[in-house]
Every structure is written in C-alpha cells, then in structure tokens.
Amino acid sequence: MSDPSTGSGHRLPAVVRHDDLPSRITIYEVGARDGLQNEKTAIDTGVKADLITRLLDAGLSPVEATSFVHPKWVPQLADAKQLMEELVDRLGDRARELPVLVPNEKGLDRALELGLRHIAVFGSATETFANKNLNQTFDGQWAMFEPTMTRAKDANMTVRGYLSMCFGDPWEGQVEIAKVVEAGKRLLDLGADELSLGDTIGVATAGHVKALIKAFEEEGVPTERLALHFHDTYGQALANTLAGLQCGVTTYDASAGGLGGCPYAKSATGNLATEDLLWMLDGLGIEHGVDLDKVADTSSWLAGHLGRPSPSAVVRALRS
Ligand code: HMG
Ligand code: MG
C-alpha cells in the first residue's frame, strides 16, 4: 500500500488492491462530444480542438471528438467537419483515429469524406427516445443503422454501438432488462464491435447494473464486448462503476470535469467525471494510463471558457 501523503502534484488516495477486480481498464473519453453537446453557448472550434489535444496529451484514448448529426438537432456540434479538419492539421493521421457519432448514412458519408476510421451509432432501448433522439420508431432505428453499419464495416471502420435508456426512461419509466438485452443484441448482430450501455438519465443503481450485465452474459454476450456509460444525475455513477468492475467490465465512458447531458433526454445531466473515476481507480490500484493532474487542469481551463466551475468533486477538491 502506498503512503497517501507521498506523491507530488496532487493528493493521492491510499492504494488498496483487490484481486477480484480487473487490473487494467480503458477509459473512453466523451467530454468533447457528450460533455459539450448540451452547452447552449457556441464554443469556438479552436477551443474544442485544444480540449481534445489536451485530453490526448493526458493519456486518454479513445477520445470521442464530435457528432456527424443534423446541425439543427445539435447546433453545438455543427462544426464537426471544421473541427476534424483542424485536428488533422494539428495531429495528422492520429486525428482520423478519433471516434465520432454517426446516426445514419448521411453522417457516415461525412465521416468517410474525412477518412475517419471509427464511428459510433446510437440506438435506444425504448420507443419514445428512439423517436425523440433519432426521429425514428424503435424498429425504424435498426433499419437506419443496418446500411450505415454494413457500409462502415465494408470500409474497415470499427463501429461502437451505444444503447440509451438501459436503466430507465423519463417518458416510459422502468425499462425491462429483457428488452434492453434484446436491443443490445440487435446492435451487436448488426456488427457493433462494442456495446456501450447508457444510463442516459442517471437512474441506475449498483444491483441493477449487475443484473443487466449478468442478463447479457446469460444471452451469450461476454463482458469484453460491453462498455458502461453512466450519467451522474443521482450521484450513483461511481457506485455503478464499481459494480461493473466487480462483474469484470473493463471499458468505462467518462467525461472530463463531469460535463454532459443529452439535449433530447429530459433530466439528463453530466456524465461520470473522468477525474472522479481516476481517483477511484488509483485507490483500487487499477491501471488506466491517464495523468489525473493533466485532466483536472484541462477541466479547470475549460470551466474558465464555460464560465462556471466543474461539477466534478475531484476537480473541486484538487483545485481547492
Ligand atoms: P431527420 O430530420 O429525420 O432526418 O433527422 P432526415 O433523414 O429526414 O433528413 C432531413 C434532412 O437532414 C435532410 O436534408 C438530410 O440530408 C439531413 P435536406 O434534404 O432537408 O436538406 N440530414 C443530415 N445532415 C447532416 N448530418 C446527418 C444528417 N442526416 C440527415 N447525419 C437524424 C434524423 C438522425 C439526422 C436526427 O434525428 C439527428 O441528427 N439526431 C441526433 C440527436 C443527437 O445527436 N443526440 C445526442 C447524441 S445521443 C446521446 O447523447 C446518448 C449517448 O450519450 C448515450 C447515453 O447517454 O445514453 C450516446
Ligand atoms: Mg450520454
């Protein structure tokens, strides 16, 4: 166990390892996309490029960059093309490795034009959210994804499948586990390399998380194919992450500073903060390859641009 008083730069938690948890995990950083998509005031494309560059420099990978959605639906990300071009200028081919959201063939065409290599489609476990977020019925969303994913695969892209409303829906209430598993398997059957289970409105609790993962396993979906995407609306994101770790899941979505929310989901607030996750992982001795100080510095810098403090407890504690 390390001494909590040692270490420079930031305070450190004592390290107590647990043999029954994964020894290393991947953090899938969504701050530049999920974190910013709900911001009402337009943020300069250059600031977004700086944010992504800083997150990469902190060791985060993958860093989701933006969305190729209809600009009227998500005005904040209307500069997706300019942003990716700016990143290619700065980072070269490395920028083409950054994943982006794509809902349909039109979005895929835009990503292909730029030579991008990783996309994520985003489906819903419920009818109402498929309608509100994608202007589709529950069944219609698969029909939209099918040609998009087939063409992406033919172009040797990897495709992540997000599934929203896995633990509850603001219009429909509780969502049956069996329905979530069916929808998730649909995305995997369509060719998703990885399935990210979204708690879009942050209502999940730890036992529910374990039950859902177990239900996927019972249907033949191994934990290696799963990622967990928690919003922290009710302060449960870290507890839910620990539940996921106990089940063996090794990919977690998080957003620098805890920004985030979905413009089409009532009551969706910030994502699990990357810094809060890093603090817990450090205490558990789980490797992640990310520099906590650099991420917290980036969130403080971004908070200056957004004009309000970061919602992350760890950022506030480290910068107090
Ligand atoms: P629609 O209006 O039904 O689109 O929107 P359409 O196919 O009828 O086309 C209408 C017009 O839009 C056409 O142009 C198309 O070309 C254009 P027109 O002929 O009228 O000039 N169009 C596009 N333009 C640019 N890029 C495109 C595109 N597609 C069509 N990709 C659509 C359907 C899916 C496009 C729309 O509903 C949309 O953009 N939705 C995106 C909503 C969104 O981004 N939500 C947030 C991300 S999801 C999330 O945050 C949850 C997550 O974090 C996980 C979790 O927390 O649970 C991932
Ligand atoms: Mg989200």
Residue 204 CB–ligand 1 contact under 6 Å = no
Is 247 catalytic? The answer is no
Structure tokens at 308: 């309000």
pLDDT at 5: 39
pLDDT at 266: 77
- Domain of 291, CATH number, reads 3.20.20.70
In whole angstroms, give the CA distance from residue 265 to residue 165. Answer: 9
**Segment 144-150 long-range contacts (CB within 8 Å, at least 24 positions apart):** 144/103, 144/104, 145/104, 145/121, 145/187, 145/190, 146/190, 147/105, 148/102, 148/103, 148/104, 148/105, 148/107, 148/108, 148/121, 149/121, 149/190, 149/191, 149/192, 150/191
Burial class (CB in 10 A: 0-12, 13-18, 19+), 158: middle
Specify the ligand 1 atom closest to the Cα of 264.
45
In whole angstroms, give the CA distance from residue 313 to residue 231. Answer: 14
pLDDT at 44: 98
Question: Which amino acid, residue 140?
Answer: G
Q: Which of 51, 262, 292, 296 is catalytic?
A: 262
Residue 135 CB–ligand 1 contact under 6 Å = yes
Residue 27 lies in a domain: yes
Q: How far is the CA of 262 from the centre of ligand 2 (A)?
A: 6
Ligand number, closest to the Cα atom of 270: 2
Q: How far is the CA of 11 from the centre of ligand 2 (A)?
A: 29
Q: How far is the CA of 313 from the centre of ligand 1 (A)?
A: 33
Residue 200 CB–ligand 1 contact under 6 Å = yes
Residue 7 lies in a domain: no
Instruction: Give me the helices (H) in the chain, please.
Output: 45-57, 80-91, 105-113, 127-134, 138-154, 177-189, 206-218, 237-246, 274-284, 292-306, 313-319
Residue 2 lies in a domain: no
| Coil/strand/helix, residue 167 | coil
pLDDT at 1: 36
Residue 280 lies in a domain: yes
**Spatial strand order in the sheet of 226-230:** 26-29, 251-254, 226-230, 194-199, 158-164, 118-124, 100-101, 66-67
pLDDT at 10: 60
Angle at 145 between CA 142 and CA 146, to 5 degrees: 85
Q: How far is the CA of 265 from the centre of ligand 1 (A)?
A: 15
If we measure between CA atoms, which residue out of 230, 97, 73, 114 comes closest to residue 162? 230
What total number of domains does the chain contain?
Answer: 1
Ligand number, closest to the Cα atom of 198: 1
Residue 167 lies in a domain: yes
pLDDT at 4: 42
Q: What is the DSSP string of 13-82?
A: PPP---TTS-SB-EEEE-IIIIITTT-SSPPPHHHHHHHHHHHHHTT--SB--EE-S-TTTSGGGTTHHH
Residue closest via CA to ligand 1's atom 42 equals 133
Q: Residue 302 sits in which domain range?
A: 21-318
In whole angstroms, give the CA distance from residue 195 to residue 188. Answer: 7
Count CB-CB contacts under 10 A for residue 58: 23
DSSP class of 193: S
pLDDT at 9: 53
Residue 9 lies in a domain: no
Going residue by residue through the chain, which has 320 residues, state the pLDDT in tens, using 9 for 90 and above.
333 434 445 689 999 999 999 999 999 999 999 999 999 999 999 999 999 999 999 999 999 999 999 999 999 999 999 999 999 999 999 999 999 999 999 999 999 999 999 999 999 999 999 999 999 999 999 999 999 999 999 999 999 999 999 999 999 999 999 999 999 999 999 999 999 999 999 999 999 999 999 999 999 999 999 999 999 999 999 999 999 999 999 999 999 999 987 788 877 789 999 999 999 999 999 999 999 999 999 999 999 999 999 999 999 999 87
Please state the pTM of the whole predicted model.
0.96
Asked whether the CA dihedral 229, 232, 238, 239 is positive or negative, the reply is negative
Taking the alpha carbons at both ends of the chain, their separation in whole angstroms is 26
Residue 198 lies in a domain: yes
pLDDT at 11: 81
Residue 164 CB–ligand 1 contact under 6 Å = yes
In whole angstroms, give the CA distance from residue 269 to residue 245. Answer: 23
pLDDT at 263: 82
Residue 34 CB–ligand 1 contact under 6 Å = yes
| Coil/strand/helix, residue 147 | helix
Residue 14 lies in a domain: no
